[in-house]
Amino acid sequence: METLRITQSSLSYSDFAPLFSGPILVSIDRESRSRIKRSHERLKDLLSSGQTVYGVNTGFGKLSEITIDPEEQFKLQLNLVRSHSAGVGDPMGPGLVRATLFLKLLTYVKGYSGVRPEVVNKIIKLLDNDLLPIIPEKGSAGASGDLAPLAHMTLAMIGEGEMIYKGRRLSARNALKKANIAPLVLHPKEGLSLVNGTQVSTALAIRSMLNSDILLRTADAIGALSVEGSLSSGDVFRASIHQLKEHQGQRVTAKNVSNLLSGSEIVASHKKCGTVQDPYSFRCIPHIHGSCRDSVGHAGDVINNEINSVSDNPVIMDNGEVAYSGHFHAEPVAQALDIIAIAMAELGAISERRTYFFMKGVGDRIPPFLAIKPGVESGYMMAQVTASTLASENKTLAHPASIDSLPTSGGQEDHVSMAPWAGLKLLQIQENVRQILAIELLVASAACTLFHDGLRPGKGTAPILEHIQRMVPFHKGDRVLSGEINTLSDLIGTGKVVSLVKEVIDLE
């Protein structure tokens, strides 16, 4: 297993990729462990001095004016975790749970949370043993931390929830016993610290960024194949043209598509056809894909900032002061997720338009719906209909979550971010985009195979086309398409299309 090492250095969302691939090991450097220990010592000093500390010797939220006696402070933490375990819905996937646990560690190693080193060690043991708490997807408003899902995470750590261990769903107590790990006993502030923070929202954001990196590059590659299949012009992707615009994403996309089409006999075959301007879904690929790329890039910067931030409340400052803030509020993450959602919906929308273009037929070289025997056969008619429904669904899902807010906790939490919902619906958008791109890939490959046979495709598109031709029986005419679409969608999701291209050309 790969070991992820935690130090005081910053991490990027891309560093989390192994967490979504399978089990990992974790190590923490000496400086980080020292910071954790010093922070806990500062908390102990505060408590011994009798100072009031929210959530340690007071109630929570609207009940924060109630003082908690020392003999009930342990029970306070336990009650918090139990009462806040109110999540619903399907369990989060294993990669998201691993990322959530890892993000907790990143906050604690900063040295401002006051938790004992034992808490950190327990989280490391869970990750090292791939012992994953069952965390329901829904129930967090992304405001006072991702309270409900993180409470379920903590509930499992104390032996009262459920866990996945070696592929089996077990009671947490049983799973911990099988892994020879003792349940965590919560000390003052630890329950509050574990349920506080943006870790679930940020885990969703990290997953969406990893998906976006694949989808943006894949869309450029499939878009280039559609340029060939539709007999569109390749001249519009020349670097000299796009140097006139100052948008970096546009320039990157134009370069990608130009490189993909390099040496294409299909593009060269119609240079003198007389067509001056292609439809926008082809001609404006750099402008639209590039804008999506720039938006996702900005969101990635925001998400990286959150990854490397302290997300807890209250915090114990270096001078021993208790500081109160809203560091649990996930508004930056929510807005970043909403930006990505809009970008991904647009990526799917332009892909569907390119697929639609093929349905009309192209001159005398491509018949309507790419049917080998139009009339007797319907070709790819319904595949395009499916793409259109997914693109329409994304329009609804792309409505920003961060502009919605309902007060909670008796009005104390009077503005919430809805970041977890922004993340969950974004993952659905991205799944839809994979399917839309899979349909475009199927249709563009059919056009090149059936109607441009004998002409060599571009240097970058050739390996894609050759790979798809080994998978799909294009010459059979009408057949069941759903399985092929799902197979190509899975191919896209694994990054295979991107890796095929990268074997022969650079793809940014």
Which residues are identified as catalytic? 54, 84, 196, 280, 283, 328, 413
For residue 436, the Cα-to-chain-centroid distance in whole angstroms is: 18
Q: Decide the pairing of beta strands 24-28 and 2-6.
A: parallel
**DSSP code of residue 6:** E
- Six-digit token string for 352: 């569907």
CA angle, 205 then 400 then 247, to 5°: 70
CA–CA distance, 442 with 465 (Å, rounded to integer): 10
CA–CA distance, 199 with 339 (Å, rounded to integer): 19
Count of other CB atoms within 10 angstroms of residue 18 = 17
CA angle, 187 then 188 then 190, to 5°: 70
| Residue 167, C-beta contacts closer than 8 angstroms, at least 6 positions apart | none
C-alpha atoms less than 13 angstroms from C-alpha of 244 in its C-beta half-sphere? 6
Q: DSSP states of 131-175 as a string?
A: -EE--EEE---SBSBSHHHHHHHHHHHTTSSEEEETTEEEEHHHH
Query: Helices (DSSP H) in 248-380: which residue ranges?
Result: 248-260, 265-268, 280-283, 285-307, 331-359
For residue 391, which amino acid is it? A
CA–CA distance, 171 with 156 (Å, rounded to integer): 8
- Six-digit token string for 65: 């004016």
CA–CA distance, 462 with 452 (Å, rounded to integer): 13
Nearest-CA neighbor of 33 among 154, 103, 119?
A: 119
Nearest-CA neighbor of 150 among 322, 336, 313?
A: 313
For residue 28, give the 3-state DSSP assignment.
strand
For residue 68, give the 3-state DSSP assignment.
coil
CA–CA distance, 329 with 405 (Å, rounded to integer): 13
Measure the CA dihedral 392/289/263/465, to 10°: -40
**DSSP code of residue 186:** P
Whether the CB-CB separation of 104 and 122 falls below 8 Å is answered with: no
